């Protein structure tokens, strides 16, 4: 029964943090908003840090599930274009704002706390997604690794600008231009 209740509260808490963020997360307002109590949240997640870790894992799982639909072996440029379409969709903005917040917090606390390792893990996740789009025979060459790293840098930088300005048209034009330069 507790695992069902834990999952239910995790989903409700996840919806809450997508709207309100994690920076100022306090258990009392969160618990009130999701129909629980701080004591129940602490029981189910062991600590506030445990809850934050569960929320970050939930966000990461959603991000990866949404990206799994990329065309296999379509090539780096096509996969990167598909990722950009996903990143630039209005519907994903709450998740991506949460991602940026967690990424930044992880950079500030790379070895401790609930954010520990989040940034490095998401870099690995995204590089793996992009790698899966490339032919197996050339996937691990230094040139392929460098192109994936460049594509990821373009996508992440563009994402930050998009979240700051909302200027999809301008940023998409820049992304398209940069991704074209990665064609082999």
Q: Does the pLDDT at position 132 exceed 90?
A: no
Q: Residues for the chain: how many in total?
A: 184
**According to the model, what pLDDT value does residue 184 have?**
66
- Give the pLDDT band of residue 71 (cuts 50, 70, 90): low
Q: Does the pLDDT at position 64 exceed 90?
A: no
Any idea where the domains of the chain sit in the sequence? 55-180
Q: Where are the alpha helices (DSSP H) in the chain?
A: 2-20, 27-34, 38-45, 48-67, 76-88, 93-108, 118-131, 142-165, 168-180
Least confident interval from 10-14, 17-21, 38-42, 142-146: 17-21
Taking the C-alpha atoms of residue 40 and residue 43, their distance in angstroms, rounded to an integer, is 5
- How far is residue 136 from each of residues 2, 144, 167, measured CA to CA in Å? 43, 11, 36
The pTM of the whole model exceeds 0.85: no
């Amino acid at each position: 029964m507790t695992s069902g209740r834990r999952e239910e509260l995790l989903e409700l808490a996840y919806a809450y943090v997508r709207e309100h963020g994690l920076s100022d997360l306090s258990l009392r307002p969160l618990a009130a908003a999701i129909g629980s109590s701080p004591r129940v949240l602490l029981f189910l997640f062991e600590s506030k840090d445990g809850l934050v870790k569960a929320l970050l894992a939930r966000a990461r799982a959603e991000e990866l599930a949404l990206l799994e639909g990329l065309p296999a072996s379509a090539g780096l440029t096509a996969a990167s274009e598909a990722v950009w379409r996903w990143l630039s969709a209005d519907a994903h903005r709450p998740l991506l704002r949460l991602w940026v917040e967690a990424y930044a917090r992880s950079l500030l606390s790379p070895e401790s706390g609930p954010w520990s390792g989040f940034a490095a893990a998401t870099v690995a996740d995204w590089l793996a997604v992009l790698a899966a789009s490339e032919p197996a025979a050339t996937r691990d060459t230094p040139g392929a690794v460098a192109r994936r790293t460049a594509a990821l840098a373009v996508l992440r930088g563009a994402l930050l600008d998009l979240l700051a300005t909302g200027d999809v048209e301008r940023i998409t034009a820049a992304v398209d231009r940069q991704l074209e330069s990665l064609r082999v």
